[in-house]
Structure 1
Amino acid sequence: MRNLDPAQFQALIARADAVLLDVRLPEEIEIAALPGAVNIPLAELGARMGELNPEAPIAVLCHHGVRSEMAGRLLERNGFVDVSHLTGGIDVWSRVIDTRIPRY
């Protein structure tokens, strides 16, 4: 799994073949979200990873980067071949890339 900074993450999710996976809870998504993200909370990922293509580049996002790293490791253990996560999560994204996204 690759640990990406905000600029690297932004470049990855701009790719047409990349899947942006947000592993936060729905109530967190209501506060701050990136458009086009697939929301599968970390606690549900084991049961729902069949909804994702294991061959596609997966870019995982959470609040501060802890859950996204855990999710990425879980995906890799289950055969996903191209997994990255945003170090610092949406919190760093809202400070570095898009200040219109609320911090919480």
Structure 2
Amino acid sequence: MTDTVPPQIDVDALQSLRQSGADVALVDVREPWEFEFCKIEGSVNVPLGSLTSRSAELPRDRQMVLVCHHGGRSAQATAWLRHNGFAKATNLMGGVDAWARRIDPTMKVY
């Protein structure tokens, strides 16, 4: 794994993209229990531990935003995906916690 910071997007920019109708895939790399507790609408759950075995399910041809609780695991996932040919993978800074606090205050936080 490389020490460079993978490309990132903040929650406000992601919300703007979604509102504009951009085709953005949201991939949540948290554990299933976390995903069930709270999630960004439209996201799919691919836990970090199964990312390598499930990477064929992920889109290579459109922007993909990786999500976790605070942005650490999704940064790891983004770095791995970019290293493996997913040129449009981007990390969501602050994760679902930032999303709940800035964009969707009705979302549960933990």
- Runs of 4+ in structure 1 deviating by more than 6 angstroms, as ranges, are none
C-alpha displacement of 1:34: 1.2
Match of 1:5 among 2, 10, 14: 10
**Does the 8 A contact of 1:63 with 1:89 survive in 2?**
yes
Task: Give the root-mean-square deviation of aligned CA atoms.
Answer: 1.3
Cα drift, residue 36 of structure 1 = 1.2
- Single out whichever of 8-17 and 27-36 deviates more from structure 2: 8-17
TM-score by length of 2: 0.87
Counting aligned pairs with the same residue, the percent is: 39
Maintained 8 Å contact 1:24/1:39: yes
Q: Which residues of structure 1 form unaligned runs of 5+?
A: none
What amino acid is aligned across from residue 95 of structure 1 in structure 2?
R
Distance 1:75 1:87 in 2: 16
What per-residue deviation string (whole Å, max 9, x for no partner) do you get for residues 28-59 of structure 1?
01111111111100010011000012121101
- Please say if 1:78 is aligned against 2:101: no
1:95 matched to 2:101: yes
Tell me how far 1:13 sits from its aligned partner: 4.0
Match of 1:50 among 42, 50, 56: 56
Aligned length: 104
